[in-house]
């Protein structure tokens, strides 16, 4: 795990004990900090308590007595699992919260502000640990859509090129739970707006803003406030570091242009790039290479993935990876689960799991990627319109609506002349689409909705789709 003397001797309140919260507790204790931890879910509290009871049980002395301190492997500072949400917060040095905690509405956040206690997340703790880590670089990637694919692709290209690297943040293992990289390593972080809101000092060597479209507006007072949250990734950077933004996205361009006015000139290579020290004309060659060869990459289909590949390639180039090794990484990338994931080719019909598309803007690229689609759409709607998916309905042979928003999508699609079957459940939709489909068509689960009406999360929805397709 990552530890830091910067945390030693301080008292942290940790709220939220899912994976990142648990990793935060372990890292803080191992660094000599004191931690008071809490989660509203009893099972999460009990899991942490059991872990430390087990650790103390391994620390019995020669007389058989249990050492009530945490084991030395987890640090010698104390851990309390206690409800601090209604207590005086002033004894704490900081409140560390899960990104899932809504800072705009949660009473604990309001109380912390009133008490003058800083509210941070695990990414900020990582930022404060950086001076103690072996020399390294950090890549930060944000945007409404495409973050995970681009993060994984950068990580894959670097790994293929032999660069020590790991990825974390909003993807993979919690960053504090990972082993520090050796000298010359690169930490590649996917960062949601929620994580950026909890971060104050992450100075990324390379920062990428892929796009900004309406999403998560229940957490922000306006779309402009949401965009401003994303823009803070650039604002935390030193002036000599590198920033990219997607020039094809109007809001991202506005963010980038505002930054340009205060920090210098950008050069465009498909993405706009800021660099005070030097510029690479070779980036234009990378752009041309991606446009000419994109169809060869089975796991990077569609214009959205060409954009992701361009961003990842530029980042890798800036980190010293050769064009040849960038090509090798692009060719061997296998994609991510639930993101335009090719599940099965059955009698010439391709089944694609794009369950991660939880809004219309995320679903639109998958619709653009295939010419003849049987579209499974619906769930818990985030908006009352078709959004960007309306621009690709000529690719939809037939739609199969599911979930709470099924009737809404059925009406909207019929108004646009799309044939619709109101399937209600994913099982009915898969069976119906499979029975109706013909060779050369794609059965696409790209719901344009959240999953919580019928599934625990988008992963559970995607796994159910894959199981149903496998059983055909």
CA angle 91, 97, 102 (to 5 degrees): 120
Question: What pLDDT is recorded for position 296?
Answer: 52
Fold for the domain defined by 5-120: Rossmann fold (3.40.50)
Long-range Cβ pairs for the range 288-294 (8 Å, 24+): 289/313, 289/323, 289/327, 290/330
Least confident of 20-34, 58-72, 129-143: 58-72
Question: What pLDDT is recorded for position 88?
Answer: 93
Please, what is the average pLDDT of the chain? 86
Question: What pLDDT is recorded for position 21?
Answer: 95
369 has a pLDDT exceeding 80: yes
Its CATH architecture, for the domain 341-470, is: Alpha-Beta Complex (3.90)
Choice among 159, 216, 372, 431 that is catalytic: 216
Distance, in Å, from the CA atom of 278 to the CA atom of 457, rounded to the nearest integer, reads 44
- Residue 170 falls in the annotated catalytic set: yes
For tokens 């823009």, name the residue: 231
Choice among 145, 170, 211, 305 that is catalytic: 170
Least confident of 42-46, 280-284, 312-316, 372-376: 280-284
Q: Which residue has the higher pLDDT, 32 or 278?
A: 32
Distance, in Å, from the CA atom of 24 to the CA atom of 342, rounded to the nearest integer, reads 35
CA angle 185, 186, 189 (to 5 degrees): 150
CATH code linked to domain 130-332? 3.40.1190.10
Domain residue spans of the chain: 5-120, 130-332, 341-470
For tokens 């099965």, name the residue: 344
Question: What pLDDT is recorded for position 331?
Answer: 86
271 has a pLDDT exceeding 80: no
Choice among 147, 156, 338, 398 that is catalytic: 147
Question: Are 449 and 412 in contact, with CB atoms under 8 Å apart?
Answer: no
Beta bridge partners of 420: 399
77 has a pLDDT exceeding 80: no
Question: What pLDDT is recorded for position 361?
Answer: 85
- Residue 11 falls in the annotated catalytic set: no
Under the banding of pLDDT at 50, 70 and 90, the label for residue 263 is: low
- Residue 216 falls in the annotated catalytic set: yes
Distance, in Å, from the CA atom of 432 to the CA atom of 455, rounded to the nearest integer, reads 20
* pTM of the predicted model as reported, rounded to 2 decimal places: 0.79
Residue 402 main-chain phi, psi, to 5 deg = -135, 160
Question: What pLDDT is recorded for position 345?
Answer: 95
Distance, in Å, from the CA atom of 306 to the CA atom of 304, rounded to the nearest integer, reads 5
351 alpha-carbon distance from chain centroid: 24
């Amino acid at each position: 795990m990552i530890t830091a003397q910067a945390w030693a001797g301080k008292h942290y309140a940790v709220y939220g004990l899912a994976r990142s919260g648990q990793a935060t507790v372990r890292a803080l204790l191992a660094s000599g900090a004191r931690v008071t931890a809490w989660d509203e879910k009893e099972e999460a509290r009990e899991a942490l308590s059991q872990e430390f009871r087990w650790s103390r049980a391994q620390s019995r002395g020669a007389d058989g007595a249990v050492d009530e301190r945490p084991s030395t492997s987890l640090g010698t500072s104390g851990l309390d699992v206690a409800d601090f949400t209604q207590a005086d917060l002033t004894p704490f040095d900081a409140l560390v919260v899960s990104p899932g905690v809504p800072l705009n509405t949660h009473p604990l956040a309001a109380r912390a502000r009133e008490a003058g206690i800083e509210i941070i997340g695990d990414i900020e703790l990582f930022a404060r640990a950086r001076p103690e880590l072996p020399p390294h670089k950090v890549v930060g990637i944000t945007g409404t859509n495409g973050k995970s694919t681009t993060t994984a692709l950068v990580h894959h290209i670097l790994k293929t090129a032999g660069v020590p690297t790991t990825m974390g943040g909003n993807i993979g293992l919690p960053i504090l739970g990972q082993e520090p990289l050796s000298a010359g390593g690169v930490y590649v972080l996917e960062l949601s707006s929620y994580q950026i809101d909890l971060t104050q000092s992450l100075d990324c060597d390379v920062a990428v803003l892929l796009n900004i479209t309406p999403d998560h507006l229940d957490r922000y007072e306006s779309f402009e406030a949401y965009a401003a949250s994303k823009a803070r990734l650039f604002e935390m950077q030193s002036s000599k570091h590198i920033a990219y933004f997607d020039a094809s996205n109007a809001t991202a361009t506005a963010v980038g242009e505002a930054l340009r006015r205060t920090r210098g000139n950008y050069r465009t290579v498909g993405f706009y790039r800021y660099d005070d020290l030097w510029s690479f004309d070779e980036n234009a060659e990378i752009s041309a290479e991606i446009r000419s060869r994109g169809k060869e990459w089975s796991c990077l289909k569609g214009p959205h993935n060409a954009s992701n590949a361009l961003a990842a390639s530029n980042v890798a180039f800036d980190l010293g990876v050769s064009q040849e090794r960038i090509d090798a990484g692009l060719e061997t990338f296998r994609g991510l689960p639930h993101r335009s994931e090719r599940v099965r080719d059955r009698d010439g019909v391709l089944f694609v799991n794009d369950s991660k598309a939880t809004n219309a803007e995320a679903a639109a690229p998958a619709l653009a990627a295939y010419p003849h689609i049987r579209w499974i759409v619906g769930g818990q709607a985030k908006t009352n319109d078709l959004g960007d998916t309306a621009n690709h309905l000529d690719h939809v042979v037939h739609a199969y609506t599911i979930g709470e928003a099924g009737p809404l999508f059925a009406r909207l699609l019929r108004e646009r002349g799309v044939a619709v079957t109101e399937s209600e459940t994913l099982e009915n939709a898969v069976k119906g689409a499979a029975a109706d489909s013909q060779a050369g068509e794609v059965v696409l689960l790209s719901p344009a909705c959240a999953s919580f009406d019928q599934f625990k999360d988008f992963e559970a929805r995607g796994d159910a789709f894959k199981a149903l397709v496998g059983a055909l």
